[in-house]
Amino acid sequence: MTHLDKQVRTTQRRMWINRWLVGLSWSLTIAVALLALLILVHRLFDFAWPLGWPALAALAIALVAAAVWTFVKREGPAIAAAVLDEAAGLRERLSTAHYCRVDRDPEHPSSQKGPSTSRGAVDDIFVQAVVTDAEHISGSLSARQHIRLRLPGSFAWTTLTALVLAAMFLVPVGLLTSTQAAEEREQGVELTQTKIAVKRQMDRVRKLVQDNPALQELKDKLGDADEQAAGKLHRPGDVRHEAVKKIDKLTDAVKQKRASGKYESVKEMRKMLRGLKVPKAKDAPNQKLAKALAKGDFKTAREELNALKEQLATLKSEQDKELAAKMSKQLEAISKQLDKLAQNENLAKKLAEAGLKPKDIKRMLENLKKEDLEQVKKQLQEKGLNQKQINKLAQQLERGQQAGAVAKKLAQAMKQGASGSNPGQTGESMEGLSMAADQLSQLEQLEQEMNQLDAAMADLNASSGNISKPCRKCRGAG
């Protein structure tokens, strides 16, 4: 390829790029104008149209249209040579040489490859001179310097339409729609968001019930809360209200279970055990047991009783017998203290001050019946106590009786455990220690259930609050 051909081809490419930029500017102007019209309609009537895909489609069509138009209107090499002549001020030297080469050289790329005409030697010399001059000139010429790539003036229209498109986003949404339609559309969005938020909270409540062993028997209290939130109700407030009703129903069931006397007796038992005296001697075999009981640590107390059982099972030497006798003595001391605590002297004193007879107080603390409780309330009312004081004292009596019964059973088991001071009595003693360990295990389990119920009520109240009074950011999803 000669220098002349290279310069002509470079000129062609640059002219094609400039033509493509012209076509692109007009196609973009039309596409952006149509897109601006679409956005205007979308904003005025608040239609639920996606704008991303139309924008991408408009850009793709503009690029393709500009490329097709450039291909159809592309300039040939003769026009490119003439344009380069004019730009470089060469007075048709390059275009003439290109014409002569095409006409005289059948193998030239631009030739029609038809039969050549004989013109004589003078013509050949002239053609050679013209071509040689053009090759010499093109060798020192740069088409890139004379044929510049430039943005067409039509890009001003493209910029203007782009500004108009941006201004369309300032048009208020739903300007030409009715207030009722806008409210219904907004309510529909809020309803969908509310259903999603309520479902998340109900899923958390369901997981709470499934993961909490103390709530297994209350699964049916949730009912069909998810079905209600999923589509039967058509107002956000109704969806929230229905879900809150279901959670409140479950919360009431948890509260009712938590108010059971067996759980309150655990608290009363811990309160009662605070009066237990711990041996001061550090080498006392049962010091850890007494200390754990005084703290209300049922787990550690149970482990200490099991350790005592293992020690009794390995009694052999005389020294072991002395240790067993010492342990039995301390167990008996703990048993006496528990028996005394079971009498609940403070509560008995309060009941005596309220006018109850000593024999009635003793009987009630040992075995409280429902009619006894009603009789106590009636007597307290006759003494002039208000309803709040009556209920408080009645609750103390009920809880104290339950805790005293547990303490009395534990004292009896401890007393039986203290009977094995020699190898011949270890069987009875170990049986008593096993009974005491079982009672402590039951107290430990009740305490765990009580804590699980307390945690469940806190979580349920939080979920109910998230649904009934949702925050603005999460709309009640937490």
DSSP-assigned letters across all residues of 297-366 = -HHHHHHHHHHHHHHHHT--SHHHHHHHHHHHHHHHHHHHHHHHHHT-HHHHHHHHHTT--HHHHHHHHH
Q: What pLDDT score does 61 carry?
A: 95
Six-digit token string for 273: 């055990």
CB atoms near residue 295 (< 10 Å) = 15
Cα separation, 462 vs 222, in Å, equals: 16
Six-digit token string for 326: 């010492």
Q: Quick one: residue 304, left, alpha or beta (phi over 0 = left, psi -120 to 50 = alpha)?
A: alpha
Q: What is residue 229's DSSP assignment?
A: I
Q: What pLDDT score does 119 carry?
A: 42
Q: What pLDDT score does 132 carry?
A: 87
Mean pLDDT split into 10-residue runs, the chain, 478 residues: 87 94 95 92 79 91 94 92 90 86 59 44 73 86 89 93 92 68 62 83 85 77 52 73 86 84 78 80 71 86 83 65 74 79 71 68 62 67 73 71 76 75 63 84 86 87 82 54
| Domain residue ranges in the chain | 3-168, 179-257, 263-449
Q: What pLDDT score does 63 carry?
A: 94
Q: What pLDDT score does 422 carry?
A: 52
Contact yes or no for 20/67 (Cβ under 8 A): yes
Q: What angle do CA 436, 442, 446 make, to 5 degrees?
A: 145
Cα separation, 421 vs 322, in Å, equals: 8
- Positive or negative: CA dihedral 311, 312, 318, 319: positive
Q: What pLDDT score does 115 carry?
A: 42
Burial of 386 (0-12, 13-18, 19+ CB in 10 A): exposed
Measured in degrees and rounded to the nearest 5, phi and psi for residue 79 equal -65, -40
Cα separation, 44 vs 32, in Å, equals: 18
Residues 6+ apart with CB under 8 A from 333: none
Contact yes or no for 64/28 (Cβ under 8 A): no
Contact yes or no for 447/298 (Cβ under 8 A): yes
For helices 155-168 and 3-45, angle between their N-to-C axes, nearest 10 degrees: 20
